[in-house]
Amino acid sequence: MKIALAQLNYIVNHFEYNKAKMVKAIERAKSDCVDLIVFSELSICGYTPHDLLERENFIANCDTAINQLSTHCKGITAIVGTPSLNPNSKGKMLYNSAYVLRDGAVVSIHHKTLLPTYDVFDEYRYFEPNSDFNIININGKRIAITICEDLWDDQPVSSAFAKNRLYKSSPMDKLKEFNPELIINIAASPFSYNNEEYRKKVFTDNINRYKIPVIYVNQIGANTELIFDGGSMVLDRKGQILEKLKSFEEDYKVIDSESLESNQPISSETISDDIRISRIYNAIVLGIRDYFKKMGFTKATLGLSGGIDSAVTLAMAVDALGRENLRVLLMPSKYSSQHSIDDAVALANNLHIQYDLISIQDTFDSFNNGLSGIFKGMDEGIAEENLQARIRGTLLMALSNKFGHLLLNTSNKSEAAVGYGTLYGDMNGALSVLGDVYKTDVFKLARFINREKEIIPINTIVKPPSAELRPNQKDSDSLPEYDLLDKILFRYIEEQKSSETIISEGFDSLTVLKTIRLVNINEYKRFQAPPILRVSSKAFGFGRRMPIAAKW
């Protein structure tokens, strides 16, 4: 039997677009004499629709699109992901389902059993877990259809206080009773830089347990914060990867289920720090590109300070959107060093970007003048530092409003963590590009961008980071060095370790306590941050929900 894996980039709620894409793949598969084509989880509507799932007409639109799609399945079977109504009077409104379409009809329906409800996942908010198990016979092949998490009953975890087994049941334990020959897993599994290894382990563990080959079809494309990297796979009953579809791109591949035993496994990359950085780079470029495309925008702006964050953001934005779609502002004050302006200009020139220079000094003076009555006799301080950042944020938004360039936020994860940024100032932006990338990784991204030639001026990379909001300011005046800071942050945020545990690993206790306190008391600031492209296992935003009003 010939099976096509269709790894496509869907737009949430765009039924015409998604359906047209799927029809095109079905027609291609027909001409390739394919018997079965497999699409990813919730493919008909895009993953994740969030609370659109609570709207009756959204579900009706899914049904209509599925019915229309089925009419294209003449002489071919398709597996499509869609929400479906739970007909029972008790329980959640919906199931997260895989529909099997053939010859204009829905021939079989399979619901998701394990509903991820942690980190960025909210599935139990909408869906009832499946409790009826069956397999399907397609062209004489006995196939167990599973949906994403259904194979993740035993999963790797990043946090110190977490379980591998989040669910009481294992769907494959039920399905194996029907003696399937093949497992198909349709998924919407978001990118994080270590998730590819997690996936391989999960599939290999399943194959070790059940001795059944796995075909895995993942979604590709970014939807606001969540980036889906694709990387669909075919694994044989030994757990060897026979085929792997592209990462960060749409892909389509036809395999022959009869040759699953005889094919040679492909060699699989071993994760290294270089590979981790290149993955993050590719994920972010996809994240920017899709945000603009799906929001209907083409042009972007940002403030170029001469520092590393705005430089790396700009270089990735150019890769994502094209240099002709970028227009940036340099906004020096009296505290800006000449080398910052020079470095910013050099970067804009290296990338052939249109830039304008607007001094903020007059406007800063004008604000200070307006406030002089109420600030009388008080020293300059944080208020004046933030004022400069807010003038810059306001100028960028003026350009954005006038010309339709979306503002890209350039804050990194280390800053976002400790609140080293100005709300309504440099925290502005439609999308946070680096908000899930620690400062030490921003430096690595810069070197990755420069791997063939100097795009980001070397001075931007080697000089000590500074916000330049007061004379001779350096980040290290108020924060630990980033090498140290990021290690503490990683242990607190990704690994969810307590201060006691981190200190017991040999970190200075005052530094740890100060850092963690800064993270905690800045929940209020991050609450108003832009959506952050997620590249780690624990990003700020939707997947990390902390109280604001609390004792810290």
Structure token pair of residue 332: 């020096």
Q: If binding is defined by CB under 8 A, does position 49 make contact with a copy of itself? A: yes
Q: Are 237 and 247 in contact (CB under 8 A)?
A: no
| Residue of 64, 68, 158, 159 that binds a copy of itself (CB under 8 A) | 159
Which one among 87, 471, 506, 547 touches a copy of itself, defined by CB under 8 A? 547
User: Does residue 271 touch a copy of itself according to CB under 8 A?
Assistant: no
Stretch that binds a copy of itself, among 97-105, 143-151, 352-360, 479-487 (CB under 8 A): 352-360
Q: How far is CA 182 from CA 186, 264, 483, 494, in A?
A: 13, 18, 47, 35
In a 13 Å sphere around the CA of 175, the CA atoms on its Cβ side amount to 31
Catalytic site residue 41? yes
Name which of 79 and 391 has its Cβ closer to a copy of itself.
391
Q: Residue 20 interacts with a copy of itself (CB under 8 A)? A: no
- Asked if residue 482 binds a copy of itself (CB under 8 A), the reply is no
For the segment 53-92, give every residue that binds a copy of itself (CB under 8 A).
54-57, 59, 88-92
Residues from 285 through 314 that contact a copy of itself (CB under 8 A): 290-291, 294-295
- Closer of 54 and 261 to a copy of itself (Cβ): 54
Q: Which residues pair with 79 in a beta bridge?
A: 38, 100
Catalytic member of 21, 41, 149, 439: 41
**Phi, psi torsion values for 342, nearest 5 degrees:** -60, -45
Q: Which of 21, 123, 148, 487 is catalytic?
A: 148
Q: How far apart are CA 109 and CA 84, in angstroms?
A: 9
Q: Is 454 helix (H, G, I), strand (E, B) or coil?
A: coil
| In the complex, minimum distance from the CB of residue 209 to a copy of itself, in angstroms, rounded to a whole number | 15
The H or E element that residue 412 is part of is: none
Query: In the bound complex, what is the minimum distance in angstroms from residue 552's beta carbon to a copy of itself?
Result: 7
For residues 382 and 458, which CB has a smaller minimum distance to a copy of itself in the complex? 382
550 binding a copy of itself? (CB under 8 A): yes
Closest approach of a copy of itself to the CB of residue 180, in Å: 23
User: Based on CB atoms, which residue is closest to a copy of itself, 93 or 109?
Assistant: 93
382 CB-contact burial (10 Å; exposed 0-12 / middle 13-18 / buried 19+): exposed
Cα-based distances in Å from 521 to 138, 225, 335, 415, 445: 56, 23, 28, 13, 29
- Residue from the set 363, 412, 440, 460 that interacts with a copy of itself by CB under 8 A: 363
Nearest residue to 12 (alpha-carbon basis) of 70, 55, 52: 52
Backbone angles phi, psi at 71, to 5 degrees: -65, -20
Quick one: which segment of 172-180, 239-247, 318-326, 544-552 binds a copy of itself (CB under 8 A)? 544-552
162 binds a copy of itself (CB under 8 A): yes
**166 lies in the binding site for a copy of itself (CB under 8 A):** yes
Listed ranges 212-220, 317-325, 478-486, 521-529: which one lies at the site for a copy of itself (CB under 8 A): 521-529
Among 1, 2, 17, 209, binds a copy of itself (CB under 8 A): 17
Cα gap 344→332, rounded to integer Å: 10
Q: What are phi and psi of 241, to 5 degrees?
A: -85, 120
What is the distance between the alpha carbons of residues 219 and 8, in angstroms, rounded to a whole number?
6
Cβ nearer to a copy of itself, comparing 362 with 454:
362
Taking the C-alpha atoms of residue 545 and residue 120, their distance in angstroms, rounded to an integer, is: 10
Going from the C-alpha of 482 to that of each of 456, 498, 539, the distances in angstroms are 20, 20, 18
Q: Which of 98, 436, 530, 540 binds a copy of itself (CB under 8 A)?
A: 530
**What amino acid positions are annotated as catalytic residues?**
41, 112, 148
